[in-house]
A and B are shown apart, each in its own frame.
Chain A
Amino acid sequence: MGLLSQQYDDGNIVLTSVEGVLNWARLCSLWQMSFGLACCAIEMMAASASHNDIMRFGVLPRPSPRQCDVMIVAGTVTLKMATRVKRLYEQMAEPRYVVSMGSCSNCGGPYWEHGYHVLKGVDRVVPVDVYIPGCPPRPEALLEGWMRLQEKVRDFTIVKEK
């Protein structure tokens, strides 16, 4: 019945830990919450369109936070929006990840000094896993950030502290 109940002689068998399989499965199907905030969201869209095709990483945009693993905060988080971002994050199921895309959500970006209505970094309201610098980051940078996130997922363990 189990994974290894067949015969071994066709060579198509991999031995691994449960954790390894689970993490591998998870990192290949990280679903993304599809909402964009500002200019960076256009580059996020470009990353999912024809030239860069982020879907080959198993990324599927979902409109509901309850079906998502990753929230990409793409753009300027204003004070009016910050409470909403926080609420969306809270609605996601664990384990959940946050990618902060662009200078604005990293630290306020070009608006850090005179932007009276701009939150100076989304990490002031939600914990961030990967920061992607740039204004806007190129789609390639988003892909790189995504691979960093996958590395993080690969090392995740529920069994014991490493």
Chain B
Amino acid sequence: MTENLDVLRQGIASGRLKTDELVLNMGPQHPSTHGVLRLELVLDGEIVVKIIPSMGYLHRCFEKHAEAMTYPQVVPYTDRMDYLAAMNNNHGYALAVERLLGIEVPERVEYIRVIMAELQRIASHLVAIGTFGMDVGAFTPFLYCFRDREYILDIFERTCGARLLYNYIWVGGLSHDVHDGFERDVADFIRKFRPTVTEVNNLLNYNKIFIERTAHVGVLPADVAVSYGCSGPMLRGSGVDWDLRRDDPYSIYDRFDWNVIVGDGAAGTLGDCWDRHMVRVGEMEESCRIIEQALESFPAAGDIAEAIPKRIRPPKGEIYTRVENPRGELGYYLISDGSANPFRLKVRGPSFVNLSVIDEISRGHLIADLVAILGSIDIVLGEVDR
């Protein structure tokens, strides 16, 4: 593959191969754009010359809604931004409002929040890995990943009644306590889940075809990643050791012992699609470790909400809070004017920021590789467009 590509590139560069540029439209209903993303591709034969992404096909006016709703009413809308990581979105928003109010939540709440957020991270990475496999032509890992994701959703469902969008982490606490046997369920899940990572490794990650499709493809150098503000597995895949859970600690992440997974270019070049993918695989194991430690010191009983007035009115002021979502740095910039509704709530979506780099890293690749690159960025359109 790569040799052929090199021959093509040389031919074009030397002028021996005469080519014309062609504009091709991909999306917004293309099955491998992960939702309603549209890419205008400028192609030279099969080689990508330039990509003009065009978004907004799922612009659901989140920021306008936030201005029209009271603080607690915004929580369900945060669910719907990054619908694969609803718990993490709730968490970030709750933290922003709590910091503005200047309140601390009870210990037990922090534990439940961390366990939920990490379970959600595993669930989200499972979707990312499964669909990435499907994008490059491996259907079976998708089924394995979704099977295990369902176990996590079962736990969520027992606790808060919903499978996908939970509205669970509220400002000042949680909507309700965990169900009886929650700890046992989570521990069971971790035990069942561990072998899946090996399974996915055997099926997909060290598969020769998969490595051929993803190694050396879409290389994102570290300095470009930083300048584009990439975060999460995108940034760590390029070898930058940066995780907000450790570097800008929030909640109780500083109490646990875990590692930040960083790409190492083992199969190809540092920062290629395979590295980004393997960061996700590694992070699932680290999340398991966090959950296990949290379960060990889990407070058996306690309050699940801080006493706050029903109508939340934070004092005048503003705050920028960020948390580590499965896709990267999720930031909430919240301005309060002292009333019951946020004055302005701007969201910095990690998918939005990570997607902006696609033009830079896809140039000169084959159009088939573009699908792999897009899959490895792991965007959620709900958050790109908000």
Contacts and interface: CB of A to CB of B under 8 A. Distances in A.
Interface of A: 33-39, 41-43, 45-46, 49-51, 61, 63, 75-76, 78, 80-81, 84, 88, 110-111, 113-118, 135-136, 138
Contact of B84 (A42, A61, A78, A88): A42
A50 B83 contact: no
B313 interface: no
A35 to B, nearest CB: 4
B60 A78 contact: yes
Contact of B77 (A42, A43, A110, A136): A110
A39 B35 contact: no
Contacts of B65: 111, 114-115
A32 to B, nearest CB: 12
Contacts of B242: none
Nearest to B57: A81
Contacts of A38: 35, 58, 60, 80, 83, 381-382
Q: Contact size class for B?
A: 20 to 34
Contact of B28 (A45, A84, A110): A84
Interface in B56-82: 56-61, 64-65, 68, 76-77, 80
Contacts of B61: 111, 114-118
- The dominant DSSP class at the A interface is loop
Given A35-B31, A38-B381, A49 B146 contact: yes
Interface in B237-294: none
A45 B163 contact: no
Contacts, number: 98
Interface string B131-161: 0000000000011101101100000000000
- The dominant DSSP class at the B interface is loop
A50 B31 contact: no
B127 interface: yes
A88 B59 CA distance: 20
Contacts of B68: 113-114
B29 interface: yes
Contacts of B340: none
Nearest to A139: B163
Contacts of B127: 42, 45
B334 interface: no
Interface in B345-374: none
Contacts of B56: 78, 80, 117
B184 to A, nearest CB: 21
A39 B382 contact: yes
Contacts of A136: 163-165
B36 interface: yes
Contacts of A35: 29-31, 36
A49 B56 CA distance: 28
Contacts of B381: 38
Nearest to B29: A35
B80 A39 contact: yes
B148 to A, nearest CB: 9
A123 to B, nearest CB: 19
Contact of B57 (A42, A46, A78, A115): A78
B31 A63 contact: yes
Contact of B150 (A39, A41, A51, A78): A51
A158 to B, nearest CB: 30
Nearest to B59: A117
Interface string B311-331: 000000000000000000000
A50 B149 CA distance: 10
A81 B143 contact: no
26 contacts: A34-B31, A36-B35, A37-B35, A37-B58, A38-B58, A38-B381, A39-B80, A41-B35, A42-B84, A42-B164, A43-B163, A43-B164, A45-B127, A46-B149, A49-B147, A50-B147, A75-B58, A76-B58, A81-B28, A81-B57, A84-B57, A114-B61, A115-B64, A115-B65, A116-B61, A117-B61
Closest CB pairs A-B (n = 9)? A49-B146, A39-B83, A35-B29, A50-B147, A81-B57, A63-B31, A50-B143, A114-B68, A51-B150
Nearest to A49: B146
Contacts of B60: 38, 76, 78, 111, 115, 117-118
Contact of B59 (A36, A39, A51, A78): A78
B138 to A, nearest CB: 14
A44 to B, nearest CB: 11
Contact of B76 (A46, A61, A110, A113): A110
A136 to B, nearest CB: 5
Given A38-B35, A39-B165, A49 B143 contact: yes
Given A34-B31, A63-B31, A46 B84 contact: no
A135 B28 contact: no
